[in-house]
Each structure stands twice: as C-alpha cells, then as structure tokens.
Chains A and B, each alone.
Chain A
Amino acid sequence: MSKIAQAFAGGKAFIPFITCGDPSLETTEELVRRMAAAGADLIELGIPFSDPTAEGPVIQAANARALSGGVTTDKIFDMVERLRGDVSIPLVFMTYANVVFSYGKERFADRAKAVGMDGVILPDVPFEEKEEFADTFQSRGMDFISLIAPTSEYRIARIAENAKGFLYIVSSLGVTGERKEITTDIAGMVSLVREHTKIPCAVGFGISTPEQAEQMARVSDGAIVGSAIVRMVEELGVQAPEQVEAYVRAMKDAVRRA
C-alpha cells in the first residue's frame, strides 16, 4: 500500500489544497505545518502555472500572485525538503503538464522523490495521455493520481482499473471554486468505481462548508478543499495560517462524522 493509500486507512480523509508561494513560500510552509497539525490527512501543493485552465477565479488569482512573487518549481522543491524535517503526512503536487514537461519529466520526478513527495496530479493529463507521465512517477514509487468527472460515465471503468493512490472525483462540471450545492450523484460514481477497484475515492471541486464535506465524505472516502482555503489566504495573507488551521480542524471533524 502506498503512503497515499495509507492516508485513507484510518477513516475518512480531509485533503486541503494550497497554492505554493501565495503570498510567500514562508507562509506556505507555515500553512502546511498547521494544516498537518490540525488533522489534514494529505496535502495537495499547487505549483503555480501561468494559465491554469482547470481553475476558477480564486485559484487563478492565487497562481498569478505566487508567480508575480517570484516562486519557481525549484524553490518549491526546496520548501518541501525543509518541510520534510517535521511533516510526515503524504504530500502530492498538483500542477499542469507543461510545468513538469518543461522541467524534464524524469528530472522533475527525481527531484520530487528526493525531497519526499508522494504523488502528482496533472489535471490536463487525461487517461489518453497518462502513459507519457504515469510510469515516470510510478517507477520512482510515487502515485500518479487519476481524476474522474461527472461526464466520465463509460470512461470510469478503465480509469478506475488503472488508478493509483486515490481517485480524485470531480464533483461538478466546470472549474474549481466554491458552490452552494453539489447536485451530481457522487454515490453513483463511487459505486461504479467500486465495481472495478477498491482504491480510495476523494471528492473535490465546490466543497467549502463542513456540511458539504460531511455529505461528500459520507458517500466517498474523503473531501478535498482548495478554493475556500485559498480565499482565506487571499483575504488574510500572512495572517491566514491561524484561521486556516481552525478551518481544517473543523473540516476534519466534519468528515469524521460522516
């Protein structure tokens, strides 16, 4: 079992996402430590990209802030290395294909492994293009995380059969961002997955409240939250970590109730 799969072994998981370098890498480091202390089971670290086509306005703006602040892929690797001195929960990168491709996928994967990453999510690499990247990470003991969407339907079987780590279930059509309600039949998607694999399924896109997290975790293995946390960071800047810690604690409690 990979370290990522183990993150789900102790019950329903809560998975926060933050954009690295927003507003600074020092703040990102503190956020990771506090989120881990508050009970986050796995953390997604966004490596900013200039044109993040799967993101809504909140995370787009975070990417722009981080890049204008001068963050680079190398500086993020260095930050992870520092974090690994005391943070042991699984960490996965969430970024775009070109960030990995331009760095050199082997070089990227070598460095990611060396600093202690556990996996990677590339939202613009669907099943059809996965072969180009997946083995590079998996042969180094990291998971290449697959996504399924409300439109996946007949595609779910082959995506699920090949999935590693956990399966990222995109809750709704559209890009990332908070939503008042999630109307997709998540339970139906999870049961389709279950026909093919036992891999943990975590639901993301649109979740911001403890009620939503609980509701999603009840029909899956965990909840992923990005925009709601990134928005707190946007509003509070370097003061954000304390409030984010409290938020993660509340969200973890909510998924535990599920």
Chain B
Amino acid sequence: MSAGRFGIHGGQYIPETLMVAVTELEEAYEHYKADPEFQKELTALFNEYAGRPSLLYYAERMTNDLGGAKIYLKREDLNHTGAHKINNVLGQALLAKKMGKTRLIAETGAGQHGVATATAAALFGMECVVYMGEEDTIRQALNVYRMRLLGAEVIPVTTGTATLKDAVSAAMREWTRRISDTHYCLGSVMGPHPFPTMVRDFQAVISREIKEQMLEREGKLPDAVLACVGGGSNAIGAFYHFIEDKQVRLIGCEAAGRGIDTFETAATVNTGKLGIFHGMKSYFCQDEYGQIAPVYSISAGLDYPGVGPEHAWLHDIGRAEYVPVTDDEAVNAFEYLAKTEGIIPAIESAHAVAQAIKMAPDMKDKIMVINISGRGDKDCAAIARYRGEDLHE
C-alpha cells in the first residue's frame, strides 16, 4: 500500500501531473521537519507573530452553571487572524519559501484559512490566490474583504455546490496547471499524503500546549478533549499528543446540520461511507454510485463531505468518538458561551461547546477541555439571520 496511510485510510489518489509536486513536498517536509533551524524559525513565528502559546482558560461560570465537569477552554480564537488555521499556514508558508515557491494558493470555507493564508503570504512577500465557493463568499463577505485587504486574489467558485469541496477541487485544478512556483497551502488534515501528516504536525502544537498547561494547572491530564471536526485539523491538533494517553476521551463534534436523519447534514463519520476523493481514502457523504453528496451545515467551515484520514482511522480503532451536533444546538451554544463567559466562539467551535453542554453535567469531578478553534465575529451576521434578524454590516 502507498505512503501516508492511517490504517486503510489516506494515500495519494491524485492525477499523475501532481505526483511530482506532492513528492517534492514530502521530501522537503521530511528534510525540514528534522532541521532545528526550521523548527526554531517556526517557533519564533508562532510566539512572536501568532501570539502563541494560546491561553488555557478555566471557564468558571460555565463550570458552575453546568454543575459537572471542570471546563477549560483552549483559546485558539486568540491567535493572530482569529483561529487555529494560522498554525498550519505559518508552517506551510515557511516550508514553501524554503522550497523556493513564490506563490500560495488555498481553498477556504468559512474564510478563516483563506485569511490565514493571505496573512502569511503578506508576511512572506508571496503572491496569494484563494478559491472560495460562491455560496461561502456571500455567507462570509467580511472575510472576503479581509483577504483582499491582505493582498490576496479571491476567486469565487461557481461549480458543483459552490462550497468548500468545490473550492478544494478548484485549487487542485489550479495546482495541476501551475506547479513550479506554486505551493498549494491546503487548510486541513486531508488531501493526498503528505498533507494529512504535515498539517497535523503543524497543528499538534495545540495538544502539546494543552498538556503542558493542564499539568501545570491541575497536575494531571484532562478526562476529555472536545473539538469540532470538518476536515478535522483543529481536532487532530487538540487530540494528537493525547492519543497514547488512553484515559483521555477524544471527542470530535461533527456538523449534523438539520440532523443526521435528514439529507441536510455534513456529519461524515456518522452518515458517510468509505470512499476515495480529493486525494485520500476516508469516509465521505456519497450516494450509492459514489457521487459525492451535497452537504449542509450552518457552518461554512464544517460544510465538507469528507473527513481527514487520521480521524477515519481513530474512529475505526475506537480511539476517538465522533458525535453529531445540529445547527440549533450549535447556535444555542454560540449564544450561551457569549453570555456565560463573554467569549464569542466561531460557529464551528460552537459545535464542540454544544457537545460539552450535553456532557458536562454527567462528568462531576472530571476535567474537560474544549478547543475554541476560532472566534465568532465573522458569524454574527449569519447567526442574527438564523434568529430572524437582518444585520447590515
């Protein structure tokens, strides 16, 4: 079996034209991963540019209100650009620069990864083109403006369902057209090898910090770590250093949309089946003939019909649990965290908060960490609309 497997998942199912690009990337990544100078530069970028380490905040009011688990929030929302996405992007942009690439292309759903990529491109003086589903450019108009302000070109993708999966396809097609000077800065732990491994390594800083901070604060490991899962990069980042600590429950919260018994859902592990798409073998929402299903979630960042191959494997071996969270539950949690802790989470992260609200009361004397993967400013207009209020930004 080919490189980059997680159990049966992963692999490199891509056109021959791109094989040279992923092979070159794999070699460069293996080289720089072991290079102390590269790691030093990346750490400096994390600490001095992105604002790491991010806080591990004890949510006392939420803890008291729910009356069960002691709840900590990992504040990835406080990172520069407002989400965990910057961790991966700084890693890939630095790597691309070392490889002599001068141009970054990226897909984006909610716009957070696009903004992070545009930011890194500005920082490194690189050209940047972001592909975004036309539907999402409407849902996330503010992020489109931010990307353009940062000097990136934003190309609305009108094919297919005009959402994240179509943006990924468009970026892959563009990479096929222009390889020599261009790095495809993929935003999640998905796609062909080495992306799932490389992106996970860059995001693993989240769980490394949680572990250190938790041992310092509580002198022990948490009992559960919760994170939302679309492609799954913030979740794998929050889970990774706990995978070997079997007593720590790892809970991935999928976007159920209007419910997993409806067709308007994006809960891949809960409703999908094994398939091959976007360069990887994993679970995908698809019909009986393997046509990729149109998925739905209120959250543009979780609106993806697949899941990263390492998550598929963690599911197979029973190491992580993947639970569905509906739009309604996520919106309630979005409002709850704002009112209870004064923290407005991204609607993506609110899926993990919603699951925490369900679980915490039954976890007396236990410790739970919720990864707040991003901040929710970008979502305010959409949530207002969901509640029947029309905001004019």
Give the shortest distance, in Å, between B345 (CB) and chain A (any CB): 31
Q: Is B292 an interface residue (CB 8 A)?
A: yes
Whole-angstrom CA separation of A252 from B55 in the bound complex: 68
* A2 contacts partner chain B, Cβ-Cβ < 8 Å: no
Q: Is the CB of A126 within 8 A of B177?
A: no
Q: Say whether A54 faces chain B, with CB atoms less than 8 Å apart.
A: yes
Most chain A CB within 10 A, of B13, B286, B292, is at B13
B276 near A124 (CB under 8 angstroms)?
yes
Q: Determine whether the beta carbon of B21 is less than 8 Å from that of A151.
A: yes
Q: Which of A60, A124, A174 contacts B177, CB < 8 Å?
A: A174
Contact of B292 among A51, A132, A148 (CB under 8 A): A51
Tell me how many residues of A have a C-beta within 8 Å of chain B: 43
From B16, B18, B275, A98 is in contact (CB under 8 Å) with: B275
Q: Does B20 contact A (CB under 8 A)?
A: yes
Contact with B along A173-186 (1 / 0, CB 8 A): 11100000000000
- B17–A170 contact, CB under 8 A? yes
Residue B329 interfacial (CB < 8 Å) = no
CB distance from B151 to the nearest CB of A (A): 25
Once the chains bind, are B286 and A128 in contact (CB under 8 Å)?
A: no
CB–CB B20/A102 < 8 A:
no
Q: Which residues of A have CB within 8 Å of B290?
A: 49, 98-103
CA distance A62 to B272 in the complex (A): 26
Measured CB to CB, the closest approach of chain A to B135, in angstroms, equals: 15
A73 at the interface (CB under 8 A from B): yes
- Is B179 part of the contact surface with A, judged by Cβ < 8 Å? yes
Question: Given A50, A102, A129, A174, which contacts B176 in the complex, CB threshold below 8 Å?
Answer: A174
User: Which residues of A in the span 91-122 have a Cβ within 8 Å of any Cβ on B?
Assistant: 96-103
In the complex, whether B123 has a CB less than 8 A from a CB of chain A is no
Complex interface: stretch among B159-167, B213-221, B262-270, B355-363: B159-167
Are B12 and A99 in touch, CB under 8 angstroms?
A: no
Nearest to B13 among chain A residues (CB) is A124
| C-alpha spacing A103/B275, complex, angstroms | 10
B278 contacts A by Cβ under 8 Å: yes
Is there contact, CB below 8 Å, between A50 and B292? yes
Within 8 A of A (CB), among B307-327: none
Contacts of A57 in B (CB 8 A): 159
In the complex, whether B288 has a CB less than 8 A from a CB of chain A is yes
Contacts of B16 in A (CB 8 A): 123, 126-127, 147-149, 151-152, 155, 159, 170
Q: How far is the CA of A100 from the CA of B275 in the complex (A)?
A: 10
Taking a contact as CB atoms under 8 Å apart, the answer to whether B291 and A50 are in contact is yes
A72 within 8 A of B: yes
Is the Cβ of B289 less than 8 Å from the Cβ of A102? yes
Given A50-B160, A53-B173, A174-B173, A128 and B19 touching (CB < 8 A)? yes
Contact of B276 among A97, A126, A159 (CB under 8 A): A97
The answer to whether A129 and B166 touch (CB under 8 A), given A98-B277, A173-B178, A174-B177, is no
Establish whether residues A73 and B289, one from each chain, have CB atoms under 8 Å apart when the complex forms: yes
CA distance A99 to B14 in the complex (A): 15
C-alpha gap A49/B12 in the complex (Å)? 19
Report if A64 contacts B (CB, 8 A). Answer: yes
How far apart sit A199 and B341, CA to CA, in the bound complex (Å)?
Answer: 68
- Determine which of A64, A67, A149 lies in contact with B17 in the assembled complex, contact meaning CB atoms within 8 Å: A149
Q: Is the CB of A129 within 8 A of B292?
A: no
**Chain A hits for B19, CB < 8 A:** 126-128, 149, 151-152, 155
Interface of chain A residues 145 through 160 with chain B (CB within 8 A): 147-153, 155, 159
Given contacts A51-B166, A64-B160, A175-B177, contact A97 B13 (CB under 8 A): yes
List 6 A-B pairs, Cβ < 8 Å: A53-B169, A53-B172, A98-B284, A99-B289, A149-B19, A151-B20
Query: Sorted from nearest, which 3 A-B pairs have the closest CB atoms?
Result: A102-B290, A174-B177, A149-B17
Q: Apart from A102-B286, A126-B15, what 20 extra A-B contacts exist at CB < 8 Å?
A: A50-B291, A51-B165, A51-B169, A51-B278, A54-B173, A54-B176, A56-B173, A73-B289, A74-B289, A97-B13, A98-B292, A99-B291, A101-B275, A102-B273, A124-B14, A124-B276, A127-B16, A128-B11, A149-B15, A151-B179
| A positions within 8 Å CB-CB of B | 49-51, 53-54, 56-57, 60, 64, 67, 72-74, 96-103, 123-129, 131-132, 147-153, 155, 159, 170, 173-175
| Chain B residues proximal to chain A, CB less than 8 Å | 1-3, 11-21, 159-160, 165-166, 169, 172-173, 176-179, 273-279, 284, 286, 288-292
